[in-house]
């Protein structure tokens, strides 16, 4: 897919300027946790780049983010699109201070219903896409920058019907640990975020029905689903100097789901 640029048009004021002069990329930043993280960063004065595959959701996100952002049409599954993504970012900034690698997909099927196509799609986007996106972005990441992979507690748990999705998230968490060791000498911190039940548009796409949603909420200590903005505040922490001594960690945000 060709990467295109959309300048964000509104003039939403920043709450403060703590991140003024900083630049961040959020992949899959048009909805859910990605958009919430981008909004959190923009509110604090950062320049924020977001990627997505759908022009309409990119336009909608553009309206919400304001004039400190740039929306880039980019398909994480397409490695051929990565050079254009880098060129588009370089047209605005010469470096990135952090990257939230958030783009991903989820489907849930019993073992006998999983097709090779579905298996390959999940690994192509959730694992291969994340890995090679970071590889392509390395020239833009200078010393002191931060990378956050968005994984899931599914990678830690046994979930009926979620074997392939869980496997991709376990792989992503493992990549995060290994790359933290590899990139630390360059001054680049890598951490992994593993959310539990969080309300995002991916639920409907993944086929999570009302009964499953109720059961997941009941399984948390807080007896509710998490909100994207709650995850966004943790993303902001991990992407900035507030977490300067945090590296190679998997940070779980699940409302206590794993303790029940």
**Residues labelled catalytic:** 165
What are the residues facing 100 on neighbouring strands? 26, 148
Do 51 and 102 form a contact (C-beta atoms < 8 A)?
no
For the record, the structure tokens of 117 come out as 């196509």
- φ, ψ of residue 138 to 5 degrees: the values are -50, -40
Q: Alpha-carbon distance 85 to 101, whole Å?
A: 14
Residues 6+ apart with CB under 8 A from 26: 34, 35, 37, 38, 41, 48, 49, 50, 51, 99, 100, 102
Owner of token pair 């995850």:
231
């Amino acid at each position: 897919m060709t990467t295109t640029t959309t300048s964000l048009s509104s003039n939403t004021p920043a709450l403060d300027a703590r991140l003024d002069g900083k630049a961040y990329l959020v992949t899959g930043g048009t909805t859910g946790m990605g958009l919430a993280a981008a909004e959190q960063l923009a509110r604090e004065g950062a320049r924020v780049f977001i990627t997505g595959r759908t022009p309409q959701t990119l336009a909608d996100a553009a309206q919400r983010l304001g004039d400190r952002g740039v929306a880039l049409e980019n398909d994480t599954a397409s490695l051929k699109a990565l050079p254009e993504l880098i060129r588009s970012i370089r047209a605005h900034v010469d470096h990135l201070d952090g990257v939230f690698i958030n783009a991903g997909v989820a489907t849930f099927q019993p073992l006998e219903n999983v097709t090779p196509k579905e298996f390959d799609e999940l690994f192509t986007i959730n694992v291969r896409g994340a890995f090679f996106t970071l590889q392509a972005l390395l020239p833009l990441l200078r010393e002191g920058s931060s990378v956050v992979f968005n994984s899931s507690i599914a990678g830690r748990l046994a979930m009926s019907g979620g074997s392939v999705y869980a496997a991709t998230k376990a792989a992503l968490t493992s990549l995060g640990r290994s790359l933290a060791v590899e990139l630390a000498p360059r001054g680049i911190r890598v951490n992994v975020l593993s959310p539990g039940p969080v309300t995002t548009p991916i639920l409907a796409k993944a086929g999570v029905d009302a009964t499953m949603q109720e059961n997941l909420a009941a399984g948390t200590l807080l007896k509710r689903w998490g909100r994207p903005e709650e995850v966004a505040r943790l993303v902001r922490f991990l992407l900035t100097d507030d977490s300067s001594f945090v590296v190679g960690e998997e940070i779980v945000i699940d409302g206590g789901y794993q303790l029940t």
